[in-house]
Amino acid sequence: MGATTPTIGRPEPNEYAPYYGKYVSLVVEPDILAVLENQSVETAALLSACREADGDVRYAPEKWSVKEVLGHVSDSERVFSYRALRIARHDKTPMEGFEQDDYVKYGRFGRCSLASLIDEFKSVRQATVALFRGLEDAAWTRRGVANENEVSVLTLAYIIAGHELHHRRLLREKYFSAAVL
């Protein structure tokens, strides 16, 4: 089992649907495992500096609250890491997509404390890193079909990292004032 990031580089555009390019492109560091590990610390620090009441903030009436954003990030990471697991283990069964708005609606994140959602995110990320750290080198290049699109295991790691970066940027720019940071 590999214990380091594979030396295969970044995912190629033919390894994912164009929609995911916006997430893949946000990851600039070459060591995807280090990126995933560092993000957990950075995101937890950003959100831990908030008051509990900040978890209910929405930057517009129909937008998700901070808690819902964090719940969405954790749920999406679970889905993407599950896809990576199945593909890495040679499961050729195509996987369906998921409706993010329904996941947030039924996630009931508003009933959770911000602190518990931060802990959950850190736990989900720890499990994700353990999954990717345990992969053999060949598993990183395996491809499968998810949401009717071919995707590689490596790309899924980049999507997880880029998706988190995307939402952390939104939290900073749209939810929190400079005074909070």
> pLDDT tens, 61-102?
999 999 999 999 999 999 999 999 999 999 999 999 999 999
Query: Roughly how many angstroms between the first and final C-alpha of the chain, as a whole number?
Result: 40
Q: According to the model, what pLDDT value does residue 2 have?
A: 46
Q: Cβ(72)–Cβ(108) under 8 Å? A: no
Q: According to the model, what pLDDT value does residue 177 have?
A: 66
- Domain contains 49: yes
Read off the amino acid at residue 92: K
Q: According to the model, what pLDDT value does residue 6 have?
A: 52
- Domain contains 101: yes
Give the phi and the psi of residue 143 in degrees, each rounded to 5.
-125, 150
Tokens of 52: 């509990």
Q: According to the model, what pLDDT value does residue 181 have?
A: 39
Position 169 pLDDT exceeds 90: yes
Q: Write the DSSP string, the chain.
A: ---S--SS-SPPGGGS-GGGHHHHTT--SS-HHHHHHHHHHHHHHHHHTS-GGGGG--SSTTSPPHHHHHHHHHHHHHHHHHHHHHHHTT----B----HHHHHHHHTGGGS-HHHHHHHHHHHHHHHHHHHHT--GGGGG-EEEETTEEEEHHHHHHHHHHHHHHHHHHIIIII--TTT-
% of the chain at pLDDT higher than 70: 93
Q: What is the mean predicted confidence (pLDDT) over 121-145?
A: 97
- Domain contains 8: no
- Domain contains 1: no
Q: According to the model, what pLDDT value does residue 35 have?
A: 96
Query: What is the rounded average pLDDT for all residues in the chain?
Result: 93
Position 176 pLDDT exceeds 90: no
Q: Cβ(71)–Cβ(112) under 8 Å? A: yes
- Domain contains 90: yes
Q: What is the mean predicted confidence (pLDDT) over 21-27?
A: 97
Q: What is the mean predicted confidence (pLDDT) over 122-141?
A: 97
Position 157 pLDDT exceeds 80: yes
Q: What is the mean predicted confidence (pLDDT) over 14-39?
A: 96
- Domain contains 115: yes
The number of domains in the chain is 1
- Domain contains 153: yes
- Hunting for tokens 């929190």 — which residue is that? 176
**How many other β-carbons are positioned within 10 Å of the β-carbon of residue 131?**
16
- Domain contains 6: no
Tokens of 40: 């957990």
Q: According to the model, what pLDDT value does residue 87 have?
A: 98
Q: Which domain holds residue 70?
A: 13-57+64-175
CATH of residue 162's domain is 1.20.120.450
Q: According to the model, what pLDDT value does residue 149 have?
A: 96
- Give Dmax (Cα) for the chain: 49
pTM of the full predicted structure? 0.93
| β-bridge partners, 144 | 151
